[in-house]
Amino acid sequence: MKKRYKKRVVVSMSGGVDSSVATALLKHRGYDVIGVSMQIWDHSGQEDSGFGSCCSPDDIYHARAVADTLNIPFYVLNLEEEFRKNVVEHFVSEYIEGRTPNPCILCNQRLKFDILLRKTLELQGDYLATGHHARVLWNDSSGRYLLLKGVDSNKDQSYFLFTLKQEEMKRLIFPIGDLTKDNVRRIAKNFGLKVADKKESQEICFIPDNDYRRFIAENMGAARCKSGNVVNKEGKILGRHKGIYMFTVGQRKGLGIPASHPYYVLGFDLQNSAVIVGRDEDLLCGGLIAEKLNWILFPGLESEITVSLKIRYRYQEAKATLIPQDNGNVLVRFHTPQKAVTPGQAVVFYDGNTVVGGGWIKEST
């Protein structure tokens, strides 16, 4: 009898319950499964290895234990150099320039769906799978792969995946995209996986104490740390600051300004190293400019369309009109003014549950 050929899937195993269940489901469905964990940060010397942090030594240990339970091959890839170059250095430089980056999106884009996908092909894998709460579907009418939200609206991670290209999506599987988080944990228990009740990571993986100001100061060099004035919209000096990197648009705490009413960070004057502050209502704006766009629903934006959008991950969707610009950017006009539009963050566009595309916020308008 001719041996039946099994499709090979390489699974990015983070050590959490989502990727562990994704691995178990694929093995259960008869795929030839290989588990891979990315070692992206040196956690040595830290008092807490970070049971709740992403990609810690504990996480790799948990991933290996799951692989042993499922009896599948398991490998650890040392991507520390690539992670520092592509994610950490960008994170630091963006804050210095008064922008607020999202390192998780870059990690997905430049490590998981670039380096790890290439490693999948080296391992003769047909697909790469992750534990993201999202879905990829083929659409016959458009001849394109579509990215859809995960079924569990509270855990949907499609926002972090807007950079996906068609050639990447044809190689991707998101096994838990159709499951709620409760079902994921229930399945983990049924498979006997010890990570079934493991807490989710919340902080940035390379800043386990969540003190990003300290981290940036330690990694930026004293020459790049410039103090300056805190000013209002009219340019009146209200106080001093020790570095623009310590602030983000919409921030209220830590301004050090004695006043009868609260001030909020509105933006920055980089030329004069000034932090601009104002009242809560001053944070409202009518739109933004998005750059470095990636379109999933169609090859490119050719005319105005109306979409729903998110300007941050934990953000209620808002209606907006997208207007293509000659330089490749997009002018976004909110149907209702939005608060604290933050340069450096991602803006992701939706049509119902389908991701239209997304880009990076250049400036508010």
At residue 301, the 3 state secondary structure works out as coil
For 30, 39, 56, 348, the CA distances from 84, given in Å and listed in that order, are: 36, 11, 15, 25
CB atoms under 10 Å from CB of 204, counted, come to 20
Crossing angle of helices 212-220 and 89-96, in 10° steps, is: 100
Whole-number Å distance between alpha carbons of 106 and 283 = 27
- Could you tell me the strand order of the sheet in which 127-129 lies? 74-78, 32-39, 8-12, 127-129, 172-173
Catalytic residue numbers read 107, 205
> What 3-state DSSP class applies to 144?
strand
Backbone angles phi, psi at 214, to 5 degrees: -60, -45
User: Which position has the token pair 């944070």?
Assistant: 283
> Which residue(s) pair with 85 in the sheet?
none
Which residue from 328, 315, 331, 330 is spatially nearest to 365, judged by alpha carbons? 331
Instruction: Identify the sign of the CA torsion 341, 342, 348, 352.
Output: negative
Q: Are 258 and 225 in contact (CB under 8 A)?
A: no
